[in-house]
Chains A and B, each alone.
Chain A
Amino acid sequence: MPSPRYWREIPSRYRLEALRCRGCGTHIFPARRICPGCRGTDFERSALSLHGTVVTSTVVHVAPEDFTMQAPYAVAIVETPEKARLMVQVVDCDPATVKPGMAVALEFRRIRMEGRGGILCYGHKAVPAA
């Protein structure tokens, strides 16, 4: 499958590029055209810190097809110091130890190999903070 959808998402997926709204200060990740906080449209570029805290989490046992080889795996909502929240897998630890409040670091990883075309999809995953 030809996939411009992958390269156009490179800034947010590979570099965690976000926007900071000049109107209300909200950090928006991934970037949007209108601020969800104040509907402002004046932004500056920012990058998210590569660490954060687990807000809530689960351990997926019944996985989507592209992820069956990884199951069971932990998925969490992580909040960075900028108050941006992102959904990521939490790896390099026992999934049972992932709980709200856990401190994590964000690392660049392979997310999955997509379907029969085998496109490699990259992004960030969380690991326990050192």
Chain B
Amino acid sequence: MREVAIVAAGMTRFGELWRSSLRDLFVEAAAEAITGAHADRVDAIVVGNMSGGQFVGQEHLGPLMADHLGMAGTPAIRVESACASGGAALHVAFLEVASGACDLVLAAGVEKMSDGADVTAVLASAADQETEVYHGITFPGLYAMIARAHMAAYGTTEEDLSWVAVKNHRHGALNPKAQFRREVKLEEVMASTMVAEPLRLLHCSPVSDGAAAVLLCPLDQANRYTDRPVRIRASALATAPMALAERKNPAVLDAVALSAERAYRMAGLGPDDIHVAEVHDCFTIAEICCIEALGFAERGCGKVAAREGLTALGGRIPVNTSGGLKAKGHPVGATGIAQAIEIFEQLRGEAGERQVADARIGLAQNMGGSGASSVVHILEGE
């Protein structure tokens, strides 16, 4: 396999972007990446999108987006793995370049969630329709069950969950692209509306519109497009049983651990080598479970990381410096690419007020459903 680099990135703001359609968002992010690399064509386009069909009634996004980029004729496909669609699209783009099939590939994620669809119902289609959704469970409900299992097994508290939101909002306040550029107080989080016990509104990521795009090429061609390429050291996927009831321990995200194990092996690195990470905090409990599965904390010990500042900017391993899904926003299909962009900017020293000093190796972890799919990328700067 060839070594692969990310050479350019583009991203919209995240938020309720009522003036922009699905295709507007995609083109804005993709064109920024292509222009940034001074490229006039790409060999292939991979679109990460969870559910254009259900959110805005639009499927067949490959040719649609190629056309709207003025690139009709270019091979283009859409990749779906629920909320991990962006990470999965990046994985496919990586394989296309690593295999030698293509030399310049655009991987772009997009989601338009605020156009009036029943967002709860659409997101629930990433859970098991026959055994879970049938009985009235929601996505916050599934993660609430994960949270209660974690609380019962490891003594995690509602306050521990709330500190993750406080930390990620503090980071998001520094990110010009974030949906919520404001801090929240612990008391506000703990007094917010109950959604599914023990998860409250401020434990949940928001409904967002947005798009994010990166350009990939072989490392040995990267200097045609940039003088600061970021190398993809690993790209790994894993799955776990779809229904939460089928997992041996609902407090443990097996797919995340497995995808991390594969990525670490591929890169020849371990959790101690990571300087900065973006993890899939769709709910605050998810960040706690993910940092345990990624090896940044021992199993059952992730609960103290945000409160004690280990995962805050300036801490031992800063997690979700972008604000995470919680504060930056979570346009589901775009999230995996946006995470990679935060790491890309960190490794190039372009993260502004959020910059982690001397960050050279970073990790992005993107998850689908209640943890049934997970994608991990490890990136390395110059």
Contact = CB atoms under 8 A, between A and B. Distances in A.
Contacts of A55: 149, 245, 250
A70 B145 CA distance: 19
A123 interface: yes
B85 to A, nearest CB: 22
B134 A111 contact: yes
Nearest to B143: A58
Nearest to B204: A62
A75 B243 CA distance: 14
Given A56-B152, A64-B120, A112 B136 contact: yes
B149 A100 contact: yes
Contact of A36 (B130, B152, B193, B246): B246
B138 A62 contact: yes
Interface in A52-89: 55-67, 70, 72-73, 75-77, 85-89
Given A55-B149, A55-B250, A65-B121, A60 B137 contact: yes
Contacts of B245: 55, 77, 85-87
A39 to B, nearest CB: 14
Contacts of B164: none
A64 B163 CA distance: 28
The residue among B132, B135, B241, B243 with the most chain A CB atoms within 10 A of its own CB is B135
B141 interface: yes
Contacts of B124: 64
A56 B289 CA distance: 16
Contact of A89 (B121, B130, B131, B136): B136
A64 B136 contact: yes
Given A77-B244, A77-B245, A87-B245, A64 B148 contact: no
Interface string A37-54: 000000000000000000
A61 B145 CA distance: 14
B194 interface: yes
Contacts of A9: 130
Chain A interface secondary structure, helix, strand, loop or mixed? strand
Interface in B235-249: 241, 243-246
Contacts of A58: 137, 141, 144-145, 148, 196-199
A14 B344 CA distance: 53
B70 to A, nearest CB: 41
B59 interface: no
Interface residues of A, number: 33
A120 interface: no
Contact of A56 (B118, B130, B250): B250
Contacts of B244: 77, 87
A86 B195 CA distance: 22
A100 B132 contact: no
Nearest to A63: B136
B121 A64 contact: yes
Nearest to B201: A62
B196 A61 contact: yes
Contacts of B199: 58
Interface string A83-110: 0011111000000000110000000000
Given A30-B131, A77-B245, A57 B145 contact: yes
Contact of B241 (A36, A56, A59, A89): A36
Interface in B139-179: 140-141, 144-146, 148-149, 152
Contact of A85 (B140, B196, B246): B246
B300 to A, nearest CB: 15
Contacts of B141: 58, 60, 75
- Name the 4 nearest CB pairs between A and B, nearest first: A58-B144, A85-B245, A56-B149, A59-B197
6 contacts: A36-B246, A55-B149, A55-B250, A60-B136, A65-B120, A86-B131
